[in-house]
Amino acid sequence: MEIKILKEEENTLLIEFVNESETFLNLLREELWNVKGVIEAAYIREHPELSNPKLWIKTENISAREALKNAINNLIERFEKLREGARKIIK
């Protein structure tokens, strides 16, 4: 997965996800809302065929980069629990 930082300030981050689906960005956006200090989290797609989706993060009392890191770690933990649960039922 190729990721490009388009804009970064202490409390804002705009990231482009090259050739990635909105499904993934929606999942990440939803998890960002669970991170304390996130005041805005949205994904943007100017054109479905001609542009890559972008993720916008705005925070307070935490850096946007740290909020993104926390959201990703939370998702990893949730997927590990999903894998453990799936292994129990799919033997």
The set of residues, in sequence order, having a beta carbon less than 8 Å from that of 54 and lying 6+ positions away, is 6, 14, 15, 16, 17, 43, 44, 45
> Which domains are seen in the chain, by residue range?
2-89 (3.30.1360.10)
Q: What is the pLDDT of residue 31?
A: 95
Calpha distance 91→80 (Å, rounded) = 17
Confidence class of residue 90 from pLDDT cuts 50, 70 and 90? confident
- DSSP tag of 45: -
DSSP string, 30-41: HHHTTSTTEEEE
Nearest to 65 by CA among 17, 3, 13: 13
Segment 15-64, tens digit of pLDDT? 999 988 788 889 999 999 999 999 999 988 877 677 889 999 999 999 99
Q: What is the pLDDT of residue 10?
A: 85
